Amino acid sequence: MRAWNAALSAIGFNASAPDIAAGLNEALDAARAQVAADRSEAHALTVKAGRPARSATIAAARRMLHDVEQPADPAALDTLLLDVGIQRRPPVNPADTSTIPADERRALAAILARAHRIDRDLRRQPAAPAAIPAALPPTLDAARRAALAAGRSADAYRTALRSWIVDIERTASALTQDTAPLLNLYGVRAEQHENAARRAGRPTDPPAPIAHAWADYATIGRGGREVLTACQRARAAL
């Protein structure tokens, strides 16, 4: 039972007017405290998850820019980059580009869309209720209705926050699952290159395209996991 509801339930049937007023004020204070705590938790989530979500989005866009075949709609990519705080498209060294296979390109497009959705959704958290009054009306009936309305508004806000967090959590989970095979793929390629180079007596550093791809997918995967952890902690706190 919520604290505001417990305060209302504690008001006895034969309670005196002062006791009723005290219980109603306690319920109002509990509803206000619940909203404040939930708003603080939502803000903490946007701070904790915002940076890794943005890093994942930028890494996915950077990976796309390392494709020899540039995006079919470069203006849309520039708009996305602008949305996450990059004013202009970063230059790419032609020597660092490679032809990304079609199946990876499709997966990358989905990864970029999911990372950007997380970044965007984190900036669109539900609005806290504005209907909780600073003080109750003077009459007991009106005060009871106001306290009950405040508690219900607080609960509705918490429900909206939970739904918001669950949506982000699902997207982050899908992001990490989509990224893992590609990270493993480029990890295997880097290892194969290293083994072949060692046998031939050459430097073992992988080619730039492989190194960049692995680093970008590692950033995306790490960002997805950090967002997922932040969402799970925030949801448990509500």
**224 has a pLDDT exceeding 90:** yes
**41 has a pLDDT exceeding 70:** yes
| Choice among 24-33, 62-71, 158-167 with the minimum mean pLDDT | 62-71
**22 has a pLDDT exceeding 80:** yes
CA distance 6 to 169: 31
Mean pLDDT of the chain, nearest integer: 89
**What percent of the chain stands above pLDDT 70?**
98
* 1: confidence class by pLDDT, cuts 50, 70, 90: low
Residue 74 Cα distances to 77, 78, 89, 90, angstroms: 5, 6, 10, 13
Q: Which amino acid is at 134?
A: A
CA distance 65 to 5: 54
154: helix, strand or coil: helix
Residue 143 vs residue 70, higher pLDDT = 143
For the segment 128-150, the average pLDDT, to the nearest whole number, is: 86
CA 69-71-77 angle, 5° bins = 145
**136 has a pLDDT exceeding 90:** no
Best CA proximity match to 3, nearest among 36, 40, 28, 39? 28
List all residues 6 or more positions away from 208 whose beta carbon is below 8 Å from its beta carbon.
93, 95, 96
For the segment 206-235, the average pLDDT, to the nearest whole number, is: 94
| Choice among 4-8, 98-102, 144-148 with the minimum mean pLDDT | 4-8
Residue identified by tokens 């079919």 is 72
Per-residue pLDDT at 171: 97
CA distance 143 to 131: 14
For the segment 99-118, the average pLDDT, to the nearest whole number, is: 92
CA distance 145 to 168: 35
For the segment 151-164, the average pLDDT, to the nearest whole number, is: 94
Model pLDDT for residues 46-96, shown as the tens digit of each residue: 999 999 999 999 999 888 888 887 766 778 888 888 888 877 777 777 777
For the segment 216-228, the average pLDDT, to the nearest whole number, is: 97
**214 has a pLDDT exceeding 90:** yes
Structure tokens at 99: 């032809």
2: helix, strand or coil: coil
For the segment 3-10, the average pLDDT, to the nearest whole number, is: 82
**177 has a pLDDT exceeding 80:** yes
